[in-house]
Amino acid sequence: MSTTDIATLRGVATDRQVEAAEQPAPPTPAEAPSWSNMRAPDARSQQSAAVSVTNGRRALKVFLSNPNALFGTGFLAFVILIALIAPVIYPGDPLSMVGRPFLWPGQNPAFPLGTDSLGRDVLAGIVHGARISLFVGLVATALSLTFGVVLGAVAGYFGGRIDDLLVRLIEIFQTPPSFVLLVVLVAIARPSATTVTLAIAIISWPTVARLTRAEFRAIREKDFVVAARSLGYGHRRIIFSEILPNALPPIIVTSSVMVATAILMESALSFMGLGDPNVVSWGSMIGTGRELVRTAWYLTALPGLAIVVTVLALNLIGDGLNDALNPRFSQEG
Amino acid sequence: MPALVRIGRTLRRTLLQAVPTMLGIVILNFFLLQLAPGDAADVMAGEAGSATVETMAALRSRFGLDNPLLTQLGHYLSNLMQLSLGFSPRYGMPVADLIAQRLPGTLTLMVVALMVAILIGVVLGSLMATFAGRLPDRVLSVFSLLFYSIPSFWIGLMLIVFFSVKLGWLPSGGAGTIGSRLTGLPALLDKARYMVLPATSLALFYVAIYARLTRASMLEVKNQDFVRTAYAKGLTPFGVTARHILRNALIPITTMAGMHIGGMLGGAVVVETVYSWPGLGRLAFEAVMGRDFTVLLGILLLSSLLVIVANAAVDLVHAWLDPRIGAR
Amino acid sequence: MAPLLQVENLTIRFPRAEPVRNLSFEAGEGETLAIVGESGSGKSLTALALMRLLPRGAQIASGRIAFDGRDLIKLDARGMRHLRGRDIGMIFQEPMNSLNPVMTIGRQIGEVLRVHERLTGRAARARAIELLELVRIPAAEKRVDDYPHQLSGGMRQRVMIAMAVACKPKLLIADEPTTALDVTIQAQVLDLLDTLRCELRMAVVLITHDLGVVAQWADKVVVMYAGRKVEEALPGDLFDNPLHPYTRGLLAASPRLKNDFHYRDGALSEIPGSIVSAGGETGCPFRPRCAEARASCGHHMPPLTVPAPERLVACPFTVPVEAMPHAAAFSL
């Protein structure tokens, strides 16, 4: 299932790599290949901070010259626009009955995508569903980014006890299958848009923390940081103005995929009946349509397509960002 | 036997690391159970129909639910030591037995899906790496990104529409023909028919992941000097790929494969609900619907344990594949 | 009889550059030919071209590589595979990265024998041990099961050599075989190569930037600059009396030879600048860095002339050999 926390795994990979480099116990010879050119989504963040001083303008140029990334950005902008104007184009409650049930797409021009078993407008549902998907995706990502970056930065920068503690905590949160943990959390807290968002943030922050920690550990030893320290700069200033900007590229790449993952998670939860019961979402539409999949399969297919294209757009953006922010990759091919 | 020594060392280290993590997860589990609305007494009272405040209190003290938190944690831990995960009134059996009953279904589904995903993913990734930058690579890249973006429950339903409803080739749910008296090979084939769609739905996402990983990894290895050496020996391109590139490229792939075990378990939860597959996922779904938190948290605990075991297994494979690990 | 290896007018082309142009040289049986030049002079590409193992994007644009009576450029992929590792062995610069890290050295050596001599399991292993002994790896019986990371750099290069000579090739190409090694080990490895050359009657093409290596081990030297041959001579003649300004600069810049060889006016003790792109240039490529450059040097690439027997030089402004004072005074 696609709601798997890819980002989590990616974080694990980064950290494992760092651990492998740190652990003195089994000495890994220096010439072990570092797999630095990994281009898989999972491996994206394996890039180290070595190339982190990225030229923003150059990165933007690379991003803008990538047709896939542009398509992704364009489509995402379209979805955001739809979500914003949904109350204007479909002012009524998308959960209310508006027409004859089981109208197939194209059967009645008033309902271009047809109606469901209760005569609800499918298009109105999809348009309103964009709101909850994007809301959960963006807010959950923002929350986990905030927590993850702060905790990861503190642990990576100061090291020692705090670091050990955080690494344990991350390990504990990342070992249980994230979707199972998510189901447990939502089931305990009772599903609503807020709890779903919070729960997704809870299972995603360790990824960010892990990644940020690895970046901070790498950058903290760099000359310019040592220089800043010798100038007597405070910790806060070193963390936020010296290290963080250089640690950002992999975090930015990860965050676009995290939004995609969060949207997939939300839809899977809603599909299983663990979404907010008062709001229409793509997942819940599929969940309802599922019973009728033999006769009216369009009820399942259409909201699913909305998910696929939105998530695809985000992944295209993620790939584009990755190419743009990592100079080594853009040379390839 | 240097390989065995290597593997042995890795195993010891992995186990030592796993113990504190598992303990942490157990404690997390305990607190989540505390947070869950209603305790065992509520559930039992609910099952019984009605109960007075007195009987509730009696029930609570009988189950130790009125003890201080730490005492309860102690109980929980000692129960776990005896492999007891609690009792599910809903199913009328111990949670551990319940899970043991459903575990094989999920494991079979996962293993099949993982095998399929790795096999197809590695083949596709090798193809992509061979044609890097050219048309086959581009087409496959787009497909892998697409697979990467499709929710498995949705593709599951779409596969049902196409292969079960429209074509009628494959069953749309269940794990075997009910009431069939097949044995031996026919029975296995019958099971396989039921396995095709769920395994495909679950595997698709991972096919994408492994394909992209393999591509990246092979491209990385391809540029290494020893590949040139292999060509200089007079090996065929296939020989070079099979004997030199693939094995080196597999090292990071196995690491990733292990990391996806947890994800796959999560994925199984949803796919099993789509196909009514009798496994842990289906059980979790029923537990959520019945608000049976003992079962739900038992599943969480067991699946965490499964992930730890899987990670240890991957470390071992890793140690076997890479002679540089744990050297000296 | 034609020499074993005869390269004629070899041109290697990248989409936007020609890193090797009109290169000719030959090497006979049992002979060591050294190709000398700075990094970027196209010498390593030449070595790879001999094996038809050029990196993606590079191709042989024209020329002929006659080996043992066959033109390697016209050979199909299958025919070329039969030659690689059997008739032509190759050693690379970095013994660290040139061996597969996840395969024991015994299996890596055995692989050549499996491919070309159809040896299997035990026989291949026995031969691998013999070969390890041949390249003087102590306790070969035990070492055969080692992985590359368990060996030192010098040992790894010996393993590479064992692999390259496993099928008793007629030609051995050694691309900077000692650059990555310690100075003390360099001599041992080169000594080993030389012994094997004698024993197996191999022709050796030795690619190097180290004139010290050339002085001691080569029978003939080709000096390359920006993809072109600028001088060819016997090593004694070359060191006594370098003709091309570039060769003179190279000799003066070579630290180990500096003590025994003082360039007379000292003006070129080091060569200013670096190799400019060889693509699209007319005229002598060394002109921008040459102290003796004149206007006419920019018109066309100077042709190779024969100033003395067994010598070639691509510079019209070189002092004639006879007029040189102290010719052959510095024989090494």
Token pair listed for B67: 């003890």
Radius of gyration of chain B (CA): 24
pLDDT by 10s per residue, chain C, length 332: 678 888 888 888 888 788 888 888 888 888 899 998 887 788 888 888 888 888 878 888 888 888 888 888 888 888 888 888 888 999 888 777 888 888 889 889 988 888 888 888 888 898 899 889 888 888 888 888 888 888 888 888 889 888 888 888 899 998 888 887 887 888 888 888 888 888 888 999 999 888 888 888 888 899 888 888 888 888 888 888 888 888 888 887 765 554 444 433 334 445 655 555 444 457 788 887 877 777 777 777 888 888 777 888 888 777 655 444 443 433 33
Strand partners, C231: C223, C313
- Tell me B171's DSSP state: -
Q: Which of A1, A35, A36 sits opposite B267 (nearest CB)?
A: A1
Stated as kind and residue range, the H or E segment containing C127 is: helix C121-134
- Tell me C201's DSSP state: T
- Residue with the larger pLDDT of the pair A40 and C118: C118
CA distance, residue B72 to nearest chain A CA (Å): 19
Nearest C-alpha in B relative to C145 = B2
Q: Does the distance separating the beta carbons of B230 and C92 come in below 8 Å? A: no
Same-domain pairing of B178 and B283: yes
Domain count of the fold of chain B = 2
Nearest to residue B259, comparing CAs of A161, A266, A8?
A8
Nearest C-alpha in A relative to B267 = A1
Same-domain pairing of B284 and B298: no
Q: Can you tell me the mean pLDDT for B82-95?
A: 74
CA distance, residue B260 to nearest chain C CA (Å): 24
The Cα angle at residue C70 between residues C69 and C76, in degrees rounded to 5: 165
| CA C296 distance to own-chain centroid | 32
Do the strands B93-94 and C220-225 form a parallel or antiparallel pair, or are they unpaired? unpaired
Q: Does the distance separating the beta carbons of A272 and B213 come in below 8 Å? A: no
If one counts every other C-beta atom within 10 angstroms of the C-beta of residue A170, the result is 24
Chain A residues with CB under 8 Å of C96 CB are: 31
Nearest to residue B145, comparing CAs of C58, C255, A6?
A6
Chain B residues with CB under 8 Å of C164 CB are: 232
Has residue B79 got a pLDDT over 80? no
Residue B5 inside a domain? The answer is: yes
Chain B residues with CB under 8 Å of A283 CB are: 151
Q: Which chains touch B (3 or more CB pairs under 8 A)?
A: A, C
pLDDT at position A12 is 38
Nearest to residue A283, comparing CAs of A294, A272, A298?
A272
Q: Helix H segments across chain A?
A: 6-22, 56-64, 67-89, 122-158, 160-174, 178-189, 193-220, 223-230, 235-237, 244-271, 282-289, 298-325, 327-331
Please answer whether residues A153 and A275 qualify as being in contact, where contact means their C-beta atoms are separated by less than 8 angstroms. Answer: no
- Residue with the larger pLDDT of the pair C17 and A193: A193
Nearest to residue C293, comparing CAs of C312, C278, C271, C308?
C271
Nearest C-alpha in C relative to A27 = C149
Q: Does A333 touch chain C (CB under 8 A)?
A: no
**Nearest-angstrom CA–CA distance, C310 and B59:** 108
Q: Which chains touch C (3 or more CB pairs under 8 A)?
A: A, B
**Nearest-angstrom CA–CA distance, B110 and B277:** 12
Domain hosting B188: range is 102-289
Interface test with B, best of C98, C100, C150, C179 (most B CBs within 10 A): C100
CA distance, residue B278 to nearest chain A CA (Å): 16
- Residue with the larger pLDDT of the pair A237 and B190: A237
Nearest C-alpha in A relative to C57 = A333
Whether pTM exceeds 0.95: no
The correct answer on CATH 3.40.640.10 for the domain covering C27-48+79-87+170-329 is no
Please answer whether residues C268 and C204 qualify as being in contact, where contact means their C-beta atoms are separated by less than 8 angstroms. Answer: no
Has residue A145 got a pLDDT over 90? yes
Same-domain pairing of B49 and B120: no
Residue B95 inside a domain? The answer is: no
Q: Which of A1, A175, A184 sits opposite B151 (nearest CB)?
A: A1
Q: Does the distance separating the beta carbons of A260 and B209 come in below 8 Å? A: no
Q: Can you tell me the mean pLDDT for B162-179?
A: 73
| Burial call C300-309: b when 16+ CB within 10 Å, e when fewer | ebbebeebee
Same-domain pairing of B161 and B228: yes
Please give the CATH superfamily to which domain A75-332 belongs.
Answer: MetI-like (1.10.3720.10)
Q: Which chains touch A (3 or more CB pairs under 8 A)?
A: B, C
pLDDT at position A8 is 36
Residue B259 inside a domain? The answer is: yes
Same-domain pairing of B268 and B298: no
Strand partners, C175: C207
Q: Does the distance separating the beta carbons of C149 and A29 come in below 8 Å? A: yes
Has residue B189 got a pLDDT over 90? no
Distances (CA, A) of C267 to B325, C107, C291: 54, 53, 8
Chain A residues with CB under 8 Å of B268 CB are: 1
Please answer whether residues B244 and C122 qualify as being in contact, where contact means their C-beta atoms are separated by less than 8 angstroms. Answer: no
Q: Does the distance separating the beta carbons of B239 and C102 come in below 8 Å? A: no
Same-domain pairing of B240 and B120: yes
Contacts of C152 (CB under 8 A, 6+ apart): none
Please answer whether residues A105 and A297 qualify as being in contact, where contact means their C-beta atoms are separated by less than 8 angstroms. Answer: no
Average pLDDT value over all residues in chain B: 80
Give the C window 149-188 contacts with A, CB below 8 Å. 149
Q: Does the distance separating the beta carbons of B37 and A188 come in below 8 Å? A: yes
